[in-house]
Amino acid sequence: MKIGIFGGTYNPPHLGHMAAAKAAIETLHLDKLLLIPDRIPPHKELPENPVSNEDRLAMTRIMGDRLDCPDVVEVSDLEMHRTGKSYTADTLEQLRQVYPTDELWLMMGTDMFLTLHSWYQPEEILKRSGILTFGRNQDDTIELFDRQTAFLEATYGTCVQVQVIDLPGLVEVSSTQLRQALANGGGQEYLDPSIYGYILRKGLYGTHADMKALSLPDLRAVSYSMIYSKRVPHVQGTEWEAAELAKRWGADETDARKAAILHDCTKYWSLAKQLSKCAEYGILLDRVEQKTLPLLHSKTAAAVAERMFGMPQDICQAICWHTTGKADMTLLEKIIYIADYAEPHRSWSEEAHGLAMEDLDAGVLLGLENTIRFTQRQGREVHYRTGLAPQSGREAAGRTVTDKEYQNYGRSVRTHRGHRQSLGRQACHAH
């Protein structure tokens, strides 16, 4: 197995780290990439008022998740559990015990490679691992790397394995500069949105964002930091769909976007945490909700939207009912319900979107009735609010029709088909 080892302070992890990690995976065809935040860096002083090890580890885990290679990328807290300085030689010794016969590649920037001889036990590092380094500009020439390689071989009497990856577009920003920029209200251009959102949410590096007065871009970032990367496209699609429906039916577009951005912000809480937060927030649960994890996140997300983000009741209620629906939904509640159901990444979105753009109540009804059928096929109990809602929906739509009639009606609708292309799915970011 070929294993990349990418250590650092990750204070914070930025786009340069992510570009280097992706390049290493692709160029060396790594079977595993270990991201290892250090506890006490040997080569630099910790900044004043440092970010906690727990926060650096959490941000590194977000970076690992955003690399979108779950079978390859792994975040290790190995150095966090060691006392003293986080020497690379010690880390490699530990890793060799775990991976005695595997091929290890230590990743580092040009400046680190050129000063490798000054590190703690460089000869042990070179015995235990190959070196993967990155050329970032015209000064990082092959001749420069060759000279350093020859010097290391002559000095330590060992064959040095060096692999150079040319990354001319690698983000050039020092951690110190980035932290200063964040303290001054900037720096987000150097960060993945989810990491930037985590920084805002935790108030790190001198940021003091008011969670109850966030701009839409910052609200997106904070929301994305609370979910896994695989969920982000769904949230983006739901926002896009909600904005389209709001414009079509005369609802407040900004309110629709905010509700969509936050509707799944507690999606990945465990059942225990969901129940604990419901008790803390005074949320009363019925028998079905107490045992059904997918139903709980809408309740807790609505509470978080109110308490953490200061959202008004109409937005919170739209979030609250986006999973079950209910009788007599408001306009915004209908929009968020169908947006969650009909966002572009769903396989059935074309039909549902077209129907909702033509007749919002009919679109909601289609979603409710399909949800009932799906729940029944899964052998689960249908929530009573979902069961009651179709009756209200049929009355609001002014018709009583069969499932087949609704399906045929949906197929006949071609409204806004051109907007269903992949670029259109990302249109929310233009606002």
The CATH number assigned to the domain holding 144 equals 3.40.50.620
Inside any domain, residue 429: no
241 and 154 within one domain: no
257 and 114 within one domain: no
Confidence of residue 372 (pLDDT cuts 50, 70, 90): confident
**What domain range includes position 271?**
224-420
Confidence of residue 369 (pLDDT cuts 50, 70, 90): confident
CATH of the domain at 243: 1.10.3210.10
Q: Are 259 and 315 in contact (CB under 8 A)?
A: yes
pLDDT of 359 higher than 90: yes
More confident residue, 418 or 175: 175
What pLDDT score was predicted for residue 401? 38
380 and 239 within one domain: yes
126 and 228 within one domain: no
109 and 236 within one domain: no
235 and 366 within one domain: yes
Output the pTM of the full model: 0.86
Inside any domain, residue 403: yes
More confident residue, 44 or 246: 246
* Residue 261 CB burial class (10 angstroms; 0-12, 13-18, ≥19): buried
pLDDT digits (tens, 9 = 90+) for 201-254: 999 999 999 999 999 999 999 999 999 999 999 999 999 999 999 999 999 999
Inside any domain, residue 30: yes
334 and 405 within one domain: yes
**Mean pLDDT for all residues in the chain:** 87
Inside any domain, residue 200: no
pLDDT of 168 higher than 70: no
pLDDT digits (tens, 9 = 90+) for 191-215: 999 999 999 999 999 999 999 999 9
Inside any domain, residue 9: yes
Instruction: Lay out the sheet containing 73-75: strands in order across.
Output: 73-75, 32-37, 2-8, 103-109, 130-135, 162-166
Domain finish residue from 137, 166, 195:
166
Round to whole Å and give the CA distance between 309 and 311: 6
127 and 249 within one domain: no
228 and 161 within one domain: no
Domain finish residue from 166, 194, 209:
166
Inside any domain, residue 87: yes
User: How many domains does the structure of the chain reveal?
Assistant: 2
More confident residue, 347 or 253: 253
Q: Check the CA dihedral 304-323-241-189 and report its sign.
A: positive
Inside any domain, residue 217: no
394 and 247 within one domain: yes
154 and 19 within one domain: yes
Residue 386, φ and ψ in degrees, nearest 5: -65, -40
Inside any domain, residue 174: no
239 and 93 within one domain: no
